[in-house]
């Protein structure tokens, strides 16, 4: 075991191998524990995305549920009550363990596990409210002043977010020394957690705004469904390209003014042909975080971020090692690897759900819980387990780059061990628990770095392009080819597109109170698509009644109303509507043909024959009329033969 690692594992006393690694300012466990931004992003964002999927999987009825006020109160209590209980427990516990750092450390680990369990239970309760409690209708009613559906659904997440953030405050209560840091702690947690959610929120906002686009543009988008898949891909690309700007918007940053550190990093960058814009210091405003990151695909806009507290706690050699690690991510194009990983997620998602719609349609289309569990499971498998597998290999590659390029190679494992102590990270970890992590355990990273310093060949293989990266590069065109080959199974059919266009026209007509246009669009959609859509027919029928009250003698409107009744399987109202048509226009071919069909379906062949003969006389040689006529005559001739 490396000497630094042994010192930290055993006790917080100074390590003889690291003279500046002293207990006076580096190792004290009574310092406020450090956040882990990447872990916050994963464990905070995944539950919120599950909750979003649940909200958007439910179609609101548009009617507020009964006892909406009591339901809203119950929802808020279930979201905030457990969090309040956890905070109260943490406050009382902090008073009891005050001054006992070993006991504080043990309870801090327990509190983290408790907080994670409570957060998972909050998400489960939230999904239950969505499925059983009518949360979608409750949100639509309470937030009716918000004109955009997607924004209303996102705002419905606010009580859950508040509850989860409040749970995080419980760990802060145990580890904090400065009571004034509560607000800054929560703000920081919020800003870090929102980063991976930003593309999702932007996508929801753009989708809502698209509803206000000209109807011609929306019809084009519906007719070309592949455009709907390109938009999230474009958002991901933009997010990767302009991530530094987003981070500067969320964080208070400034260009690093330490010329010595800048010079060291620039020497490595020039030697390895690495391009970046600048190193920026992230000022955490008293919330002690020791971390560094690189963001930005474009070299001229790429930035390396490092927190002010990391600069305060590590010496220059160790800071150089941490920043060289970030240069390793740039050198080996890891940001591009992560971008390709996101691309493969979208492709795999489309292929999976396209296949399930074909093989097991009930899982995807029926109910709410099944699709929610399916999406959540796939997201967890991809962005927690599979991403963790990829990320841990990329981190080792960046670690190897750091120890091979800094002045003092042993400074990098020293930096790792210091950060582990400052973060209260477990040094050792079983491999099964590493599966959900983006980084290997500190022990394995330190041992890997020490072996790399010794030039072990098994570690040197990480100097080359990894098989994982090559697999992702090959997977993107492979998935694209599969999507093209199976486009008939994964993209909407022609009938689906026509139905979506019809519904879009109906919604647009309803928005401007164009009753006739709604009625005609609904009736036409059912006739052309042969849809058995009772909701569509009912909506069209309601608008027909409004139009007929104003224009009672319009034969064409009566005819379309009759067609709507036919698709609702209401033959008597349909016959009444067609009779009104014939009173205005006795030669109306459509009404005559429809009446003949209704009587033929009832087995009233003589009556059906009289109406179809009239239709044939009005429009001679029409193939559909002649076909019905021959079918009815065959039945009547058969009855006459049976009678004889």
Ranges 252-266, 310-324, 553-567: which has the least confidence: 553-567
Token pair belonging to 365: 């289309």
Query: C-alpha distances in angstroms, 610 versus 460, 596, 618, 631?
Result: 91, 8, 13, 13
Counting residues of the chain whose pLDDT is more than 90, the rounded percentage is 15
Distance of CA 419 to the CA centre of its chain: 32
**Helices in 98-157 by DSSP H: which ranges?**
101-132, 135-142, 149-155
Look at phi and psi of residue 298 and say left if phi exceeds 0, alpha if psi is from -120 to 50, else beta.
beta
Taken in order 565, 570, 571, 575, the sign of the CA dihedral is negative
Mean of pLDDT values over 4-17? 34
pLDDT at 331 over 90: yes
Q: Please report the pLDDT score of residue 482 as a whole number.
A: 84
> Measured between alpha carbons, how far is 181 from 176 in angstroms, rounded to an integer?
8
Q: Tens digits of per-residue pLDDT, 505-550?
A: 666 655 544 444 545 555 554 444 444 445 555 656 666 666 666 6
Q: What is the pLDDT of residue 65?
A: 74
**Per-residue model confidence as pLDDT tens digits over 580-616:** 888 888 888 888 888 988 888 888 888 888 888 888 8
| Structure confidence at residue 556 (pLDDT) | 73
Q: How far apart are CA 135 and CA 138, in angstroms?
A: 5
| Confidence (pLDDT) at 139 | 83
pLDDT tens profile 107-120: 877 888 888 889 88
- Tens digit of each residue's pLDDT (9 = 90 or more) over 380-435: 888 888 888 999 999 999 999 999 999 999 999 999 888 887 766 667 777 777 78
Burial state string for 497-535 with b = 16 or more CB within 10 A and e = fewer than 16: ebbbbbbbbbebbeeeebbbbbbbbbbebbeebebebee
3-state SS of 403-422? HHHCCCCCHHHHHHHHHHHH
Q: What is the pLDDT of residue 543?
A: 60
Hey, is 252 helix, strand or coil? strand
Element at 292 (helix H, strand E): strand 292-295
- Give whichever of 10-14, 532-536, 624-628 has the largest mean pLDDT: 624-628
End-to-end Cα separation, the chain, in angstroms: 106
Across the chain, mean pLDDT equals 77
Q: CA 563 to CA 524: how far, in whole Å?
A: 9
Place of tokens 């079983």: 430
Which has the closest alpha carbon to 473: 565, 573, 343? 343
Strand partners, 17: none
User: By percentage, how much of the chain surpasses pLDDT 70?
Assistant: 78
The residue with greater pLDDT, 638 or 328, is: 328
Give the pLDDT score at 134.
Answer: 83
Sign of the torsion formed by the C-alpha atoms of 536, 541, 547 and 553: positive
1 pLDDT band, cuts 50/70/90, is very low
Is pLDDT above 60 for 10? no
What pLDDT sits at residue 18?
34
pLDDT (0 to 100) of residue 385: 86
Using CA atoms, how far residue 461 sits from 138, 452, 456, 466, in Å, is 57, 10, 9, 8
Tell whether the model's pLDDT for residue 336 goes beyond 70.
yes
What pLDDT score does 17 carry? 33
Residue 475 is predicted with a pLDDT of 87
In contact, 142 and 68? CB cutoff 8 Å: yes
Q: How many other β-carbons are positioned within 10 Å of the β-carbon of residue 216?
A: 7
Q: Which of 186, 195, 175, 53 is nearest to 126 (CA)?
A: 53
Spell out the residues 6+ positions from residue 392 whose beta carbon is closer than 8 angstroms to its own. Answer: 434, 437, 438, 439, 440
Determine the pLDDT at residue 402: 93
């Amino acid at each position: 075991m490396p000497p630094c690692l042994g010192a930290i594992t055993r006790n917080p006393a100074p390590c003889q191998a690291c003279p500046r690694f002293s207990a006076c300012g580096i190792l004290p466990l009574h310092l406020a524990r450090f956040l882990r931004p990447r872990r916050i992003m994963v464990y905070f964002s995944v539950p919120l995305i599950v909750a979003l999927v649940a909200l958007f999987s439910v179609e609101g009825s548009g009617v507020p549920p009964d006892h909406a006020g009591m339901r809203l109160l119950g929802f808020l209590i279930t979201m905030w009550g457990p969090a309040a209980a956890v905070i109260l427990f943490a406050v009382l516990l902090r008073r009891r363990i005050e001054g006992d750092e070993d006991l504080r450390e043990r309870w801090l680990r327990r509190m983290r596990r408790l907080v994670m369990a409570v957060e998972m239970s909050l998400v489960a309760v939230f999904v239950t409210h969505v499925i059983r409690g009518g949360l979608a209708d409750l949100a639509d009613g309470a937030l009716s002043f918000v004109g955009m559906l997607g924004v209303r659904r996102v705002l419905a997440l606010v009580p859950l977010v508040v509850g989860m953030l409040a749970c995080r405050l419980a760990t802060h209560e145990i580890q904090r020394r400065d009571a004034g840091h509560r607000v800054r702690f929560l703000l920081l947690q919020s800003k870090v957690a929102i980063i991976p959610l930003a593309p999702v929120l932007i996508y929801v906002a753009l989708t809502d705004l698209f509803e206000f686009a000209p109807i011609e543009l929306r019809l084009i988008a519906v007719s070309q469904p592949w455009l709907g898949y390109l938009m999230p891909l474009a958002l991901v690309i933009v997010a990767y390209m302009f991530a530094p700007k987003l981070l500067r918007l969320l964080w208070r940053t400034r260009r690093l003014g330490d010329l010595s550190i800048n010079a060291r990093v620039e020497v490595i960058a020039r030697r390895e042909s690495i391009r970046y814009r600048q190193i920026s210091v992230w000022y955490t405003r008293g919330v002690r975080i020791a971390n560094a990151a690189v963001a930005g695909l474009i070299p001229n806009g790429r930035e390396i971020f490092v927190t002010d507290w990391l600069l305060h706690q590590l010496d220059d050699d160790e800071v150089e090692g941490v920043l060289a690690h970030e240069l390793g991510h740039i050198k080996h194009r890891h940001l591009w690897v992560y971008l390709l990983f996101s691309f493969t997620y979208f492709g795999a998602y489309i292929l999976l759900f396209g296949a399930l719609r074909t093989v097991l349609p009930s899982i995807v289309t029926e109910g709410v819980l099944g699709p929610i569990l399916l999406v959540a499971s796939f997201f967890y498998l991809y962005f927690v387990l599979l991403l963790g597998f990829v990320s841990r290999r990329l981190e080792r590659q960046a670690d190897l780059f750091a120890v091979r390029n800094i002045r003092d190679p042993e400074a990098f494992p020293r930096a790792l061990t210091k950060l582990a102590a400052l973060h209260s990270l477990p040094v050792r970890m079983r491999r099964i628990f590493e599966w959900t992590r983006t980084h290997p355990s500190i022990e394995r990273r330190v041992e890997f770095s020490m072996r790399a310093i010794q030039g072990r060949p098994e570690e040197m293989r990480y100097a080359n392009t990894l098989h994982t990266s090559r697999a992702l590069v090959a997977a993107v065109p492979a998935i694209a080819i599969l999507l093209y080959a199976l486009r008939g199974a994964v993209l909407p059919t022609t009938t689906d597109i026509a139905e979506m266009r019809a519904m879009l026209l109906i919604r647009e007509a309803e928005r401007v109170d164009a009753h006739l246009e709604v009625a005609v669009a609904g009736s036409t959609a059912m006739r052309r698509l042969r849809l058995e859509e009772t909701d569509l027919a009912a909506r069209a029928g309601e608008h027909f009644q409004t139009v007929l009250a104003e224009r009672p003698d319009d034969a064409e409107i009566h005819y379309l109303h009759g067609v709507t009744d036919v698709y609702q399987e209401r033959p008597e109202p349909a016959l009444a509507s067609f009779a009104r048509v014939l009173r205005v226009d006795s030669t109306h071919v459509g009404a005559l043909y429809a009446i003949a069909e209704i009587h033929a379906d009832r087995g009233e062949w003589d009556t059906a024959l009289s109406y179809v003969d009239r239709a044939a006389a009005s429009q001679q040689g029409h193939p559909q009329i002649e076909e019905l006529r021959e079918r009815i005559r065959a039945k009547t001739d058969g009855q006459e033969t049976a009678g004889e």
